[in-house]
Structures are given as C-alpha cells and as structure tokens.
Amino acid sequence: AAGVIQSPRHLIKEKRETATLKCYPIPRHDTVYWYQQGPGQDPQFLISFYEKMQSDKGSIPDRFSAQQFSDYHSELNMSSLELGDSALYFCASSVSGGGTDTQYFGPGTRLTVL
Amino acid sequence: GQQVMQIPQYQHVQEGEDFTTYCNSSTTLSNIQWYKQRPGGHPVFLIQLVKSGEVKKQKRLTFQFGEAKKNSSLHITATQTTDVGTYFCAGPHYGGSQGNLIFGKGTKLSVKP
C-alpha cells in the first residue's frame, strides 16, 4: 500500500539558511499535518491543511510557512534556521469523512542545523 | 492549555513480563489514539478508541478508554523484543480542526531478552 512520502530524508543546513521539506500524502487523502519531534520528545503539531487550505495552526514559528498544492503535496518552508530547529519533521495525512481521523505518518525528514 | 499526560516515561521489562502505560487528558476527549514509534522510525497508528469504557484487543495488546473519556491505557501481555519502542497516546486538540492531535510524552519500552 502507498505510504506518505517525505523528501529529503536527511538535510544539513547552516544557521540562518533556509530549508524546504516536501510531503506527498497517501493518494486520496485530503488532509496533511506537519509535526516537529525533538530528540526524546513527543511530536509537536505545527500546521495542517485540508483541501489545500490551512485548517489549523499549532506551535509553528513565524519563520516557518507551509502550503498545500493542487496535487495535495505539501511543503514546509523554514527560513533563518536556528540550532534549535534541528529535529525530525514528520508529515502525516488522513482522509476526512471516514469516521476516523487516523493519521498516517511519513518516515520523516531529519534536519540538522549547524 | 490542554494537556495529555502519560506515565511512566520509561519501562524496562524482562521478556515475557507484562507492560502497561497510562494516559490522562486534562479535557474530555472525543477519541483517543495510540501510536507506536520504533527507535529511528516514525509513529505508526495502532488503534483509536471512541466510546466511553471501550476496550479493544489486538493480539497481546489491550486498549481501554475510561468511562469519563479522559484516560486510557495500553496493556501488553507477555512482552516480546519486537514490542520495543515508544508508545504514544494522542487526543484531538480541543477547539482545533479535525485531526489536530495532542500527543502524550510517550512511554519508552525496553525489553530484555
């Protein structure tokens, strides 16, 4: 079965650089979520999109932005990177109207800021 | 703000022993979900509980949702080395759109062969 695809899987950046993370949800899933997970931490919700519109916003810094495109893939743009942005970034997708909001997580992008 | 608390933070067991992790929410939840994350992996959905007092079983795993829909537990009978990982409970964020989850801190399970 198709899963959530994230790219790149690993990314190394310098402080103050920018980064773009991509997420390709499971086909026919209409909702995408972004989470940040620090070492030994639980996933922290950043932002979500439903049908290409932002549906909810969590603890996403103003330096980050995201969008969902017409083909439902999503990109998380991160600017002015800081050391504290080093983390695993997960994308998850779900399908609405199915009576459940089960989220299927991608493998994650490990971002290291030096 | 809304919180989902989970205990214990760590649990070390001998293979064959039982394991339980507990989850408590500061607010009543419409549902609670459980995820397992293997070391170096991503969270994998295990189950969702919706009804008050609901109990669901998956082989050696038993999930319960409290009567007040504010607490939940996951019990593993006769643990195996394949059970190693971090178990997270998660509940919908109150006031958020469908699906925005608040995760507990997780219980990291290690199993000694």
3-state secondary structure A28-73: CCCEEEEEEECCCCCCEEEEEEECCEEEEECCCCCCEEEEECCCCC
Three-state SS across chain B? CCCEEEECCEEEEECCCCEEEEEEECCCCCCEEEEEECCCCCCEEEEEECCCCCEEEECCEEEEECCCCCEEEEEECCCCHHHCEEEEEEEECCCCCCCCEEECCCEEEEEEC
What average pLDDT does the segment A107-111 reach? 97
So what's the pLDDT on residue A98? 55
Using CB atoms and an 8 Å cut-off, which of residues 16-35 of chain B contact chain A? 31, 33, 35
Would an 8 Å CB–CB cutoff place B55 in contact with chain A? no
Please tell me the predicted confidence (pLDDT) of residue A95.
85
Which of B106, B103, B105, B104 minimizes the C-alpha distance to B85? Answer: B106
Given this model, what pLDDT does residue A100 score?
58
- Average pLDDT, 10 consecutive residues per value, chain B (113 residues): 92 97 94 94 94 96 96 98 96 69 94 95
Q: How far is CA B16 from the centre of its chain?
A: 20
Chain A residue with the nearest C-alpha to that of B41: A107
Answer whether residue A101 shows pLDDT above 80: no
Residue with tokens 């999930």: B63
Partner-chain residue, chosen from B44, B98, B105, that has the shortest CB–CB distance to A105: B44
CB contact under 8 A, A106 and B42: yes
Region A85-111 average pLDDT:
87
Q: Which residue has the tokens 């933070």?
A: B9
Q: What is the pLDDT of residues A42-72, one digit of tens each?
A: 999 999 998 889 988 888 999 999 999 999 9
Residue B34 main-chain phi, psi, to 5 deg: -120, 135
Give the span between the Cα atoms of A49 and A102, in whole angstroms. Answer: 15
The answer to whether A4 touches A91, Cβ cutoff 8 Å, is: yes
Q: B96 to chain A: which residues are within 8 Å by CB?
A: 56
Contact A45 B98 (CB under 8 A): no
Q: Does A94 touch chain B (CB under 8 A)?
A: yes
Contact between chains at B42 and A58 (C-beta distance less than 8 A): no
CB B29 within 8 A of CB B91: yes
For chains A and B, CB pairs below 8 A equal 64
Cβ within 8 Å, pair A42-B103: yes
Q: Phi and psi at residue A90, in whole multiples of 5°?
A: -105, 140
Residue of A23, A29, A32, A42 to mutate, interface with B, max B Cβ within 10 Å: A42
- What is the predicted pLDDT for the residue at B97? 55
Residue % of chain A over a pLDDT of 70: 96
The token pair that represents B70 in the structure block: 């504010």
